[in-house]
Structure 1
Amino acid sequence: MANQPLCFILMPFGKKPDATGRIVDFDAVYRELIVPAVTEAGLDVLRADAEMTGGIIHKPMFERLVLCEYAVADLTTANANVFYELGVRHAARPWSTVLLFAEGGRLPFDVAPLRAIPYRLSAEGKVEADDLPTARAALVDRLAAARRAAADVPLKDSPLYELLDDYPGLAHTKTDVFREQVRSSEERKAGIAAARGQGLDALRSVEASLGPLADTGSAVVIDLFLSYRAVSAWQPMVDLAGRMPRPLAETVMVQEQLGLALNRLGRGAEAEVVLKNLIEKRGPSSETYGILGRVYKDRWKAAVESGNRIKAVGLLNQAVETYLQGFEADWRDAYPGINAVTLMELKEPPDPRRQKLVPIVVYAVERRIAVGKPDYWDYATLLELAVLAKDQTAAEEAASNALARMRELWEGETTAGNLRLIRKTREKRGESLEWAVPLEQALDLAADVT
């Protein structure tokens, strides 16, 4: 019997925690998902020895990365060794490397545009039993497609070979062009920063000067995209996303912000589709669920304003549960947590679950402030928590810190709206929060809301 093509497996060994604290049993993932799928695809499985992963990369590892016809890389936990090996593989082979990741985490920006097969984890850190057949079938199909393409035109899944003409034989003239592009990119980013302070018309002028976006550095395009967000220019954001090169437009960050912009334009149904598709493709994340929660929250507010009480109750529940899913995806991100708590307070009667959730949200935001560089949303979260706790002194201090760090107009507008909702709900219950009115007004003024 002829030897079958080799498929090298790039992944951690044993049990490792991911960014959310979940323990992933990589040996079980290898045994239950990867080996059966690779075998069914007609390939021989080859995995690095455990002792090869502990220090300086060994010659056999390089040989396997370069010479194996196929490879499967599990990117869960963003393991440094796996990413180094993936880089070597992408530099050496234009094809055919298949990527996997466990849902619930987020792929780093540099690999987010690449096609990766998601799988769900059980509480034991293994592939969820219900998801195992689907994940296996997806991996078999991807490897089988790569084998079919090998007989014709190999699939280029290495971004180096796909995006760089003539790689690896780049001419010296191209390095000169690259130097010029780097210098031009820095100048353009400086121009965008200056235009952002001048407003929408200045940003439009900068965009008109860029030329084809396919020939513009990704960092410049993203800088412009987020600058439109900073001045609440939602339609230009949507328009720019539609003109971006597809790999950039399909990144998680761009799709999330596209959903945010669509919702701000009153196109909540389109935003919902974008965000749900993103969760299906990339797995749950606190940011994606946080923006989706805002979609449902805005629908709830519209139902309240139209007097549709029954519909409003259902939409409020939907918003709460969506924010909860975001907080459960990453408890370090207090944004979906505080939104869930605030909306729980607005229910009639208030949702009792908020009493257990509040201390967790407090801890999450306090740790962010203690170990990092706190931003506007950290102090805005403390502000909402203080208002919910009827702590005027803490609320005023948090408001001062938030205002000092406000970067974009819509940030203050959002927080002022939340405080107003809390105050009006409390007033209906016969409670007074008049001391919170000046805080709302200060945020409105900073956001230029008239």
Structure 2
Amino acid sequence: MKVPKADSLKKIAFVAMPFRTKPTGLKPGAGPDSVDYDALWERAVKPALLELDYMPLRADEQAGSVIIKDMLNALVHADLVLADISLDNGNVYYEAGVRHAARQAGCILIKANWARPLFDLRQISQIRYPLDSSAPTQEQYQEVQSILVETIPVYAESVGPVYELVRGVDSPDSYDNQLRERTVVLYEFDTELTSARISAAKGEKEPLRQMLSPERLQQLPKFALKEVVDAVRDNLNWSRLVEVIDSLPATISNEAYMQEQKALALSLGGELPDAIAIFDELIKREGKTCLRLGNLGGMYRRLASSSMARQKTQYLQAAIAAFRDGMSLDLNDYYCSHKLLVTLVERDRKGDQEEAKTVSSLLDAACQRAVNVRSDDEWLAPTLLIHAFYRKDVEEIREYADLVSGQSWSNWQLIGLLADLFTILKLPMDSDLTKEIESKSHDEDTEFMLEICREIRSDLPVEQELLMSKILPQMDRAENVYRKQGEVEARLAIEGEEIISITNSGEEASQHAREGEIVVRNNTDAKEVYLVEAEVFEKRYDSAKPVAAEFQYYEAAGKSLAFEIDHEMSTLLGVGAEFYIIAPWGTEQYAQEGDYFVCPLPEKGEIYRVGKPEFESTYVAV
């Protein structure tokens, strides 16, 4: 990444202010009852700083900003610090204090016209702005912006009173320029990562993959690498997450957080013994935490679900022991307590129901405390939903289900939530919820809980097992047989190389080649690329000539069942008009009504999606 010369870099303005919507605590008539600080930032403060030719950085507490992790550095070396003291926010006062003690000038306090500071600050530079409504109009935001544009230059060089009493450590211009250069790199990276996250959430994952080159990662500090790992975890596949972590320098990849994420990826990728070994080693090396013990218990619980009776008992006992241990570390941490509650319901041995009632009381207290302190933990609403399921509290179930649906959760998080809800309902994860609801064999409250599970599951990608059980019979009955027409290009795959398939409808999937696989490239406008095993290639294509290291042309020969995805089919799967499936190779495929499900013959062992344009240009009815 090219860094501009120091003399061309913008000045940096670091803004300390609350985030999200905060209550003011004012009496009726004294001012607004709340302030949306995110809107104030986006519609007034940030535009004002941009107009004054500053690079605005906001010191909020929202995850995802890799720049603000360098907060103290920025507080000291930024050209300007704005601190909004309208509310009694300790963080903002602290950040303003750091700046006042460290630099001679460049710290301005801003506040709403109704603000009552914690103590007398009249001797310190301040800007007052009007904010009389909880929902200001654009004109009112514009007025705040205009006031800031007019007054910031006036106060920017005012000497702070603390500096006048105790001389600070003004840094040389060269260090300030280093900060600017570093901030530009991180600012551009943060912007690119945010954009890549948004694209990945829409199924366009190539921008995120482009950020994962070793050369690019080597430029980034540790806190930025953590953001990269989180983005890969939530948007790419588990094997890719392991690869990224393993590619980092050992001093970083061996840190506790990175090892925890690697273990999570291994466990959700099916390598549970290796994941458990990592957590055992972490606990020995770094000590116990609620999170580590909770994750360890969860891995033992997943082992139990796929084990024989004797091992199942042993693994459930190990899971319960880990959850108990984690809960005892901190009764206010509801992660282990809610997992313990669910696992006791699952095991259902003598004494488990009584223990579950005790755990339920502790869980209720921990969650209530989190609600009272206005915790923004993304796991709070799902935990409350699970607890409401346990108590069969229909009113709370609806409330917390709505909160969960409003969260931008990744598939792996929703699957974990559903696993707990199904456990409480004593149903397997592959249950046909529509059939369960229509059977009328459950009471009214349970039917409502089943409906909630169906709502949540409709947002998840459709697994191969469900496709084979629901869609294959439809394809068999229709007997729509097609053969692939025309030529394709093929070459031997290089073990470990990443193959990304792009269709006319956008990105389709990513695969990593295994030994002996073949790369196939369709002769279409999209030039989509995918991997097939050698024996499959021999059945689907004219393989008279051997496959070589370079692309060669081969005539398509295989036949398949195919069925256009219509509304009836999407309803059968319990999804909307647009959805994802898990492809046979393990990654997500985007699908929509009008595309085609294809099942190769004669095996009938898998189903995948082919976009409508690709299908019509490469398949012909037999």
User: TM-score normalized by structure 1?
Assistant: 0.57
Report the equivalent of 1:201.
206
Q: Deviations over 1:358-400 (max 9, x none)?
A: 1111111121122033333111111111111122221121111
The yes-or-no answer on 1:257 pairing with 2:261 is yes
Partner of 2:410: 408
Letter aligned with residue 355 of structure 1: K
Tell me the equivalent position of 1:295.
299
Map 1:252-331 → 2, pairs under 5 A: 252-303=256-307, 308-331=308-331
Q: Which of 369, 372, 387 is 1:370 aligned to?
A: 372
Structure number with greater Rg is 2
How many residue pairs are counted as aligned between the two chains?
A: 274
Pair 1:444 & 2:424 matched = no
- The alpha-carbon deviation at position 214 of structure 1 amounts to 3.5
- What residue identity is the alignment partner of 2:364? V
Matched residue, 1:187: 188
- Where in structure 2 are the equivalents of 1:365-404 lying within 5 Å? 365-404=367-406
Distance 1:188 1:315, change over 3 A: same
Matches within 5 A, 1:14-413: 176-199=177-200, 200-208=205-213, 211=215, 213-231=217-235, 233-303=237-307, 308-349=308-349, 351=352, 352-413=354-415
In the other structure, the counterpart of 2:543 is none
More strand by share: 2
* Contact 1:413/1:443 (<8 A) preserved: no
Moved more, 212-221 or 240-249: 212-221
Find the residue that maps to 2:246 and give its secondary structure: helix
Distance in 2 (CA, whole Å) between partners of 1:425 and 1:441 is: 13
Correspondence for 1:419 among 418, 421, 432: 421
Identity of aligned residues (%): 20
Any runs of at least 4 consecutive aligned residues in structure 1 with deviations exceeding 4 A, and if so which?
A: 170-175
C-alpha contact (below 8 Å) 2:346/2:426 kept by paired residues: no
Aligned equivalents of 1:342 and 1:238: distance in 2?
A: 29
Q: In structure 2, how many angstroms separate the alpha carbons of the residues matched to 1:242 and 1:319?
A: 28
SS at match of 1:211: helix
Q: 1:251 to 1:259 in 2, by over 3 A?
A: same
Letter paired with 1:204: R
- Partners in 1 of 2:386 and 2:451 — Cα distance? 14
Q: For residues 179 and 376 of structure 1, what CA distance do their matches in structure 2 show?
A: 33
Q: Residue 178 of structure 1: CA displacement?
A: 4.4
Distance of 1:411 and 1:393 partners within structure 2: 23
User: Deviation of residue 449 (structure 1)?
Assistant: 4.6
Read off the aligned partner of 1:207 and give its amino acid letter.
L
Does structure 2 conserve the Cα–Cα contact (< 8 Å) formed by 1:259 and 1:291? no
CA distance in 2, matches of 1:212, 1:245: 13
CA distance in 1, matches of 2:241, 2:370: 29
Q: Identify if the C-alpha distance between structure 1 residues 195 and 219 changes in structure 2 by more than 3 Å, giving closer, same or farther.
A: same
Change (3 A) 1:449 1:363: farther
Kindly tell me: are residues 281 and 292 of structure 1, through their superposed partners in 2, closer, same or farther at Cα, counting changes over 3 Å?
A: same
The whole-number CA distance in structure 1 between the counterparts of 2:262 and 2:407 is: 24
Distance 1:225 1:425 in 2: 34
The 2-side partners of 1:333 and 1:445 are apart by: 30
* Partner Cα distance (1:396, 1:368) in 2: 20
Separation in 1, partners of 2:266, 2:453: 26
State the superposition RMSD in angstroms: 2.4
SS at 2:426 equivalent: helix
- Preserved contact between residue 296 and residue 315 of structure 1 (Cα < 8 Å): yes
Counterpart of 2:328, as a letter, is: E
Amino acid at match of 1:211: E
Residues 320 and 270 of structure 1: is their aligned pair in 2 closer, same or farther, counting only changes over 3 Å?
same
Cα 1:214–1:343 shift into 2, 3 Å? same
2:295 partner amino acid: I
Distance 1:298 1:371 in 2: 33
Alpha-carbon distance, 1:212 to partner = 5.1
SS at match of 1:318: helix
Q: Quickly say closer, same or farther: Cα 1:323–1:201, change in 2 above 3 A.
A: farther
Match of 1:25 in 2: none
CA offset digits 1:224-245 (Å, max 9, x no partner): 1001111252112111111222
Task: Give the letter for the 1:203 counterpart.
Answer: L
Look up the SS of the partner of 2:331 in the other structure: coil
Mark the CA change 1:331 to 1:252 in structure 2 (over 3 Å): closer, same or farther. Answer: farther
Quickly say closer, same or farther: Cα 1:376–1:403, change in 2 above 3 A. Answer: farther
Task: Give 5+ residue unaligned stretches, structure 1.
Answer: 1-169
**Conservation of the 8 A alpha-carbon contact between 1:386 and 1:392:** yes
Contact 2:320 2:340 in 1 (8 A): yes
> SS state of the match for residue 349, structure 1?
coil
Q: Which runs of 5+ in 2 are unaligned?
A: 1-170, 429-435, 464-622
Contact 1:296 1:319 in 2 (8 A): yes
Give the counterpart letter for 1:361 in structure 2. L
Q: Which has the higher contact order (CA 8 A, sep 6+)?
A: 1
State the distance in 2 between where 1:212 and 1:202 align.
13
CA distance in 1, matches of 2:462, 2:452: 14
Distance 2:427 2:313 in 1: 14
Task: State the shift of 1:253 in Å.
Answer: 1.8
